Amino acid sequence: MLTIRCLRARKYQNKSLGLIISIKLFTLCYIGIFLFSYLTFNTGAFYNDTSKVVGTFEVGTWETPPDKWDKSSLAFQDQDRTINMTSVDSISCKPLEIGALIKNNGADMNGPSEYEVYFSANQNPMKGQKVSSGVINPLISNHSEVLKFIAANPGNYKFRAFQRPGHGNKSDRQDLWSETITLTCDNKAIDSSADVEKEKVEDSTPPEGENTQDKTVQPEEEKVNTDAVNEQTDTSNTQLTDQPNENNEETGTEIVPSNDTISP
């Protein structure tokens, strides 16, 4: 019987050959899958491409929900009225403070609100010029506040107030207008008072002719006074000289002046 011996190298070579072939087949399959996915999908372009793509798309629009209404409700209480700006002394039309009463007829206000003042000389102030603005303090239910403004010119004025946000469950801000406040200036009274003042000034200042006459009369009065003083001195001197003669006549004696001199 013949015994055939196989070399050890050949024995193990056959075993490793199958492993190598399986590894190569797996590698080829993996490369094929990778190439197929790379050529089919463009995902790699998004990560590796440096070009800038610009584009817009609209997803949708939603209305913003309105603020929660605190159930307050403002209302003006005044009526149309006319006020005369002429001062008590009827000299001028001075700036005047006007106001509009506003009341909260609803629930308590959770925060403040705003108001504005509009002016027009002869027309409706709602189409006029905005001259001022202010803040309405938070009012509790059934309480009121006076909105004030100092008006400098005659004309028509209106207050515009804004309700709290969300009033009536509406997104738009609701507003309300007061009645018209008309300011007048009585020019006739001012003109008449100015005329009276002018007359007083004219009466207090003398005419130019009187001033010159006083200047000319004054020296004459001084001359008359000096003449009267001279006459008084003359009469006093004559009385002194006549008194000794009268005494001599009563006694019967005569005083003769002596020419004798007394020697020392």
Domain locations in the chain as residue ranges: 9-42, 74-190
Mean pLDDT of the chain: 73
Q: What is the DSSP letter of 106?
A: S
> Predicted confidence band at 89 (pLDDT cuts at 50, 70, 90)?
low
Cβ–Cβ < 8 Å for 132, 167: no
Query: Which tops the pLDDT comparison, 178 or 87?
Result: 178
What mean pLDDT is predicted for residues 14-39? 82
What mean pLDDT is predicted for residues 159-181? 93
- Note the CATH number of domain 74-190: 2.60.40.10
Among the residue ranges 93-102, 125-134, 148-157, 216-225, the one predicted with the least confidence is 216-225
Query: Which tops the pLDDT comparison, 250 or 97?
Result: 97
> 158 pLDDT exceeds 60?
yes
CA distance 134 to 161: 9
Residue 100 region by backbone torsions, left for phi larger than 0, else alpha for psi between -120 and 50, else beta: beta
CA distance 45 to 90: 90
Predicted pLDDT at 82: 92
CA distance 73 to 109: 9
Closest CA to 185 of 83, 78, 75: 83
* Rg (alpha carbons) of the chain, rounded to whole number: 61
> Predicted confidence band at 112 (pLDDT cuts at 50, 70, 90)?
very high
Cβ–Cβ < 8 Å for 118, 129: yes
Residue 90 region by backbone torsions, left for phi larger than 0, else alpha for psi between -120 and 50, else beta: left
Query: What is residue 204's three-state secondary structure?
Result: helix
| Its pTM surpasses 0.75 | no
Query: Which tops the pLDDT comparison, 67 or 256?
Result: 67
